[in-house]
Structure 1
Amino acid sequence: MTPEFGHFALALALALALVQSVLPILGAARGNLKWMRSARALSVAQLLFVGLAFAALMRAFVVSDFTVLNVAENSHSLKPMLYKVAATWGSHEGSLLLWVLILTAFGAAVSFFGSNIPEPLKARTLSVQAWISVGFLSFMLLTSNPFERLFPPPIDGNDLNPLLQDVGLAMHPPLLYLGYVGFSIVFSFAVAALLEGRIDTAWARWVRPWTLAAWMSLTAGIALGSWWAYYELGWGGWWFWDPVENVSFMPWLLGTALLHSAIVTEKRDAFKSWTILLAILTFSLSLLGTFVVRSGLLTSVHAFAVDPERGLYILMLLALSIGGSLALFAWRAPMMEAGGLFKPVSREAGLLVNNLILAAATGTVLFGTLYPLFLEAVTGDKISVGPPFFNASFIPMMLPLVFVMGLGPYLSWKRADLAGVFQRLRFVAILSVLGVLAIWYMTMGGPVLAYLSILLAIWLFLATLREWALRIRLFDVPFKEALRRARNLPRATHGMTMAHAGLAVAMFGFVGSSAWKSEQVVFVGPGSNIFIAGFDVTFEGVQRLSGPNYFADRGTLVVRRDGEIVTMLYPERRTFPVAQSSTTESAIRSTLAGDLYASIAQPASEDAEESGAWTLRILYEPLVNFIWIGSFMLVLGGGLSLSDRRLRVGAPRRRTIDATTSVPAE
């Protein structure tokens, strides 16, 4: 009966969402406080019932209830418990249920932690959030029921996709969805503000923590997915411009722009319309990603290929949500006051350049992702847009952004002295040039773009540290006084420093692992030697091992340098009999200088056990671990900013609305 209970809980959640989508917003329009406050109880109740449904589905996976079609298709009785739990969101239906759970959790969080938000704005925000819930709950109940029964049940299930049976990927979807869906509450705040007819500095302060939380989660989710692809897929890369990677990257780019734009709205009461538009477009790209992945339009390592009926339903939701919100924006935005004025050389102008570059970069990725789909739909021709296009168009566009990021924190609001800024940065520029010359001397080879990227990464890192040092007057006052000043700095300042420095660190990894990577793909047998990046690698053969629901062919590699054994590597090729598929388990020797990376592929001959011949891929990836260190610094910087007391306390009370700062409410 547990599956039926979960299905019934989803139906009740839909009924609550329907009420929440109407009653609070009517209360805001009529000034009925009780109707407005009903949003809190309704959002919490909706979370409760969706949570019960999710728990019911998880229980079905844990106990291997193969009378549930979803469990039979995505689990197996021999699967380790961790992956039984992770299989709850490993299918189309389960991941959709996780999406709705996070969606309702954000609504309930606003009702609990938004005590300083005016009741009319909170009521409108939670009603808009409920509109989204209605769309996805109805989609799930009508086309993607996670509790559909299967009779007669099989003795064992079909097993989860072996590629998904990994700790990294078990955590990747929840973090990614926290980012995707987290932007839904920012979208709801934006639509509610348009309905109310008021966007001001207080609104921007209320929105910033939710934007930051979503951005942090999306950053962590993308980084974890990239790390998984690096060590699990056996390709020796961390980013492939896969369409499904792109649809998660685009909301991150616009979310980054939104984060900086909201700061200008909060500090200077400017960029109001632009901030609202970014909030709408960021979540719209999250919805677009959902449609592209779940409609069956794309074939990807981690895309869900589903039927056109589901894709059509999501397309309708997409048209209603994006079309409706953009139409509302077109109606309301011209009536908003422009806000604070600023000179072309100012912090506002620097953040505007930041936003424009990020928006243009998002458009480039969007074009490269969707153009092949449109071309095939119109002409029937199939083309592939891959790394060469994105590397040639996206990377040169982002390099000026890195330069502006180093410069921006030195600019003052409203009007800045550019000559004075460059005076403070002259030693940073000199050290950056000396640093890239030293790298050129050590490598003596590589693309010009790689050296330019390294130059800008050093510039950003040193400029960021220099700006932080100036704030605490490091080397200008006694060290104890500098420490006191550092402790008294707002956490958001520390967070900005950490995030900007983290991007610079990640850039070292991006460039090093791309421009100076060494790779060999060879056929090997016992005793074969491979020389790569100063290492002497000996292949000693393969042995067969057994796992809980797979068997593995494990290779043994002896790695020497200057005749001394450095390490042993054990790459595996795992075969899952139930799923009838194989995966690669790479073996990696990691250091800050770089990774020695090995994976084995299918045997080079049909009778591998007799010939002992295998295909060995071995790479040396310089500086690649700086990617994960930089990503961690980005997330940590976001966390420091989110913990800032000013964001926890929230915005001050709004001033009385007057005719010059508002437009009529709905």
Structure 2
Amino acid sequence: MIPELGHYALVLALVVALVQSVIPLWGAARRDAAMMEVGRTAAYCQFAALALAFGALTYAHVVSDFSVLNVVENSHTDKPMLYKVAGVWGNHEGSLVLWVFILALFGALVAAFGRNLPASLRARVLAVQGMIGVGFLWFMVATSNPFTRVDPAPLNGHDLNPLLQDPGLAFHPPFLYLGYVGFSLCFSFAAGALIEGRVDAAWARWVRPWALIAWSSLTLGIAMGSWWSYYTLGWGGWWFWDPVENASLMPWLAGTALLHSAIVVEKRDTLKSWTILLAIVTFTLSLMGTFLVRSGVLTSVHAFASDPARGVFILALLVVATGGSLLLYALRAPILKAGGLFAPISREGGLVLNNLLLSTACATVFLGTLYPLFMDAVGGGKISIGPPFFNATFVPLMVPVVAVMAMGPLLSWKRADLAGVLERLKIAALVGVLAALAALWLAGTKPVLAVLALGLAGWAVMGAVVDVADRIRLFRMPLADSLSRARHLPRGAWGTAIAHAGLGVAVAGMVGTSAWTTEAIQVLHIGQSVDVAGYSFRLDSVAEAPGPNYTARRAVLTVTRHGDFVATLAPEQRFYPVTRMTTTGAAIHTNFFSDLYAVVGEPAPDGTGYNTRFYRHPLVPWIWVGSILMMAGGLVSLSDRRLRVGVPLKRAVPRAAAAIPPAPAE
């Protein structure tokens, strides 16, 4: 009964989405307040229906209702409860339910908190959100019903992919989808503004909070996926440039450009057309990442042949969403009036450079990801584009982004004094030099580019510190006054500094582990040891260990340094009997500066030793520390009331105060 209720809720949500996509838009054209108000009501109803559908599917997984095909294919009675819940979105159909649920949540939030928006703009935004919902819900109902029944019901399920049975993967997709779907609101605001033919500072203030929510969530989602691949796959790497990773990186890059471009619209009333285009492109890339990865089209063109209905729907939805929005942009963007002029050396100029570099980097990742698919589709044969291409093209584009990032917040609007900005960044330059010298001292001169990159990371982090110090006039006035200014500094300024510093920290981690990782691969027998970067790894024992739905071969390793105990590591291999799959569980000992990483694999051919792999990863924890700082910076900026609400707060003036005439101008 509950699965049928969930299926009914999906169909009801589709009907409501159709109403939401038509009536408010018609009402906005006719200036009919009652018809425009239908958008808010429909948004609430769609959210309630999809909450019911998502709850029904979750319930089916939690109670192991094997009369539902989705539960049979992705669950098992022995699976821990966390992974039973995660199994809801660990598959194609369930992930779409999560997608539309989050989409409806954002629509309901606009309906609830968008009362200060012009009624016509709010109606058009909700209508576009409804259109997106129609596309997704129609796709689900027609080709991807998550509530399909099985008769007779089996006694047990096929279990979830063992690689997905991990805390990192349990929470990674929801945050990733919060990012993807969050950019749908930016897209809806862009489409609504194009229909109205007006983009102004108030519009930019309304777009930026949703862009911040989406960007922060996507940052955390990508970081969690990177962390999962680092400790679960057993390869010792944190990024592999595979299509699934690139599918999330592309909207992140475009969304970062969108955030910075919206600032220019708000502050200087320019770059309107470019900001609208970025909103369209960012959501288009989010659609691509969501659908192509989930359908399998991104990894193999033959996925169309295995499921033609889904392939056609994917193509149709991408064509309609992308083609329709770009056609609207081509027709309406020319009427958007340009704002004021600005000099190349200005904050606007810095943000434009930021946009150009990020957009080019995004285009590079797009080309490298989809070109092999295109060549295969047109009969050009199978080709592979891997890390060498991306490292040679993407990384050089990001170097000037990080270099200019420290200067941007110190530049003034319209026209800036570059010499004065560089003067204020002397301390940042000194810290960068010291960071490079520290790398030379600790790691030697090779590779030279890594030493320079570490200096660049130090420059970026200290640049963020200098920005805050400059704003509060640290050391230029009494400390008490500086602290007072710090307390009253807008949270948006704090958020910008934290996010910029976080990127610098993450860059340092990426450089450190990429350039100076030490690896040792060998066969060890019980009692033997091997030295890796000054640490001694001794294999003490290997024994079987039971798990809730797997059996494990667990090793115990003792790590020492110069004879002193450092850590005990317990890597393991897990075998899942239901899926007949084996996974690797790395053991990691971490401190602030490095990770010791151990993997114990299959027994050696002689039957007495074990294949082992040990790493020392310098600075790798900084990747995730920096990512968390970036996300925190976005959330701090979001807490700034100027970004949470689209209009200034109207303060009530006491009658007694109102009776006092204003002081004469001096």
TM-score band, normalised by the shorter chain? over 0.9
* 1:595-614 correspondence to structure 2 within 5 Å: 595-605=595-605, 611-614=607-610
1:523 deviates by 1.8
The equivalent residue for 1:510 is: 510
Do structure 1's residue 571 and structure 2's residue 571 form an aligned pair? Answer: yes
The equivalent residue for 2:108 is: 108
The equivalent residue for 2:330 is: 330
- Partners of 2:646 and 2:614 in 1: CA distance: 52
Do structure 1's residue 191 and structure 2's residue 191 form an aligned pair? Answer: yes
The equivalent residue for 2:653 is: none
**Which has the higher mean CA deviation after the structures are superposed, 358-367 or 531-540?**
531-540
Q: Which amino acid aligns with 1:465?
A: V
The equivalent residue for 2:72 is: 72
1:381 deviates by 1.4
The equivalent residue for 1:219 is: 219
The equivalent residue for 1:495 is: 495
User: Equivalent residue of 2:406, what SS?
Assistant: helix
1:35 deviates by 0.3
Using structure 2 for the length normalisation, give the TM-score.
0.95
1:547 deviates by 0.7
The equivalent residue for 1:619 is: 615
Do structure 1's residue 245 and structure 2's residue 245 form an aligned pair? Answer: yes
Do structure 1's residue 632 and structure 2's residue 628 form an aligned pair? Answer: yes
* 1:415-426 correspondence to structure 2 within 5 Å: 415-426=415-426
User: Equivalent residue of 2:241, what SS?
Assistant: coil
**Which has the higher mean CA deviation after the structures are superposed, 26-35 or 337-346?**
337-346
* 1:6-45 correspondence to structure 2 within 5 Å: 6-45=6-45
Post-superposition Cα deviations, 1:254-291, rounded to whole Å, max 9, x if no partner, equal 00000000000000001000000000000000111123
- Partners of 1:427 and 1:565 in 2: CA distance: 39
- Partners of 1:465 and 1:290 in 2: CA distance: 37
User: Equivalent residue of 2:87, what SS?
Assistant: helix
**CA spacing shift, 1:304–1:91, aligned 2, 3 Å:** farther
Task: Answer whether contact 1:542 1:612 (CA < 8 A) is retained.
Answer: no
Point out 4+ residue stretches in structure 1 off by more than 3 angstroms: 303-306
1:439 deviates by 1.7
* 1:97-136 correspondence to structure 2 within 5 Å: 97-136=97-136
Using structure 1 for the length normalisation, give the TM-score.
0.95
1:652 deviates by 5.1
Question: Identity across aligned pairs (percent)?
Answer: 59
Q: Which amino acid aligns with 2:621?
A: N
**Which has the higher mean CA deviation after the structures are superposed, 168-177 or 595-604?**
595-604
The equivalent residue for 1:310 is: 310
1:507 deviates by 0.9
**Which has the higher mean CA deviation after the structures are superposed, 587-596 or 304-313?**
304-313
* 1:125-524 correspondence to structure 2 within 5 Å: 125-299=125-299, 307-524=307-524
1:22 deviates by 0.3
1:41 deviates by 0.8
User: Equivalent residue of 1:88, what SS?
Assistant: coil
User: Equivalent residue of 2:378, what SS?
Assistant: helix
- Partners of 1:105 and 1:536 in 2: CA distance: 52
User: Equivalent residue of 1:89, what SS?
Assistant: coil
1:414 deviates by 0.2
1:305 deviates by 11
1:212 deviates by 0.5
1:432 deviates by 1.8
Do structure 1's residue 651 and structure 2's residue 644 form an aligned pair? Answer: no
Q: Which amino acid aligns with 2:134?
A: V
- Partners of 1:277 and 1:298 in 2: CA distance: 24
User: Equivalent residue of 1:343, what SS?
Assistant: coil
Task: Answer whether contact 2:513 2:617 (CA < 8 A) is retained.
Answer: yes
**CA spacing shift, 1:304–1:604, aligned 2, 3 Å:** farther
The equivalent residue for 2:57 is: 57
1:477 deviates by 2.1
- Partners of 1:105 and 1:454 in 2: CA distance: 42
Post-superposition Cα deviations, 1:204-259, rounded to whole Å, max 9, x if no partner, equal 01111001000000001001111111111111111111100000000000000000
Task: Answer whether contact 1:298 1:305 (CA < 8 A) is retained.
Answer: no
- Partners of 1:306 and 1:337 in 2: CA distance: 49
**Which has the higher mean CA deviation after the structures are superposed, 372-381 or 47-56?**
372-381
CA-atom RMSD in angstroms: 1.5
- Partners of 1:386 and 1:358 in 2: CA distance: 20
1:380 deviates by 4.2
**CA spacing shift, 1:319–1:378, aligned 2, 3 Å:** same
The equivalent residue for 2:583 is: 583
User: Equivalent residue of 1:413, what SS?
Assistant: coil
Task: Answer whether contact 2:92 2:295 (CA < 8 A) is retained.
Answer: no
Task: Answer whether contact 1:295 1:308 (CA < 8 A) is retained.
Answer: no
Task: Answer whether contact 1:574 1:582 (CA < 8 A) is retained.
Answer: yes
1:334 deviates by 1.2
**CA spacing shift, 1:305–1:82, aligned 2, 3 Å:** farther
The equivalent residue for 1:664 is: none
Task: Answer whether contact 2:205 2:645 (CA < 8 A) is retained.
Answer: no
1:304 deviates by 13
How many residue pairs match? The answer is 647
**CA spacing shift, 1:628–1:645, aligned 2, 3 Å:** same
The equivalent residue for 2:662 is: none
- Runs of 5+ unmatched residues, structure 1: 654-666
Task: Answer whether contact 2:64 2:76 (CA < 8 A) is retained.
Answer: yes
- Partners of 1:143 and 1:589 in 2: CA distance: 46
1:612 deviates by 3.1
User: Equivalent residue of 2:529, what SS?
Assistant: strand
- Partners of 1:477 and 1:45 in 2: CA distance: 56
The equivalent residue for 1:658 is: none
- Partners of 1:165 and 1:304 in 2: CA distance: 28
User: Equivalent residue of 2:103, what SS?
Assistant: helix
1:566 deviates by 1.4
Q: Which amino acid aligns with 2:276?
A: I
- Partners of 2:106 and 2:357 in 1: CA distance: 30
Task: Answer whether contact 2:528 2:538 (CA < 8 A) is retained.
Answer: yes
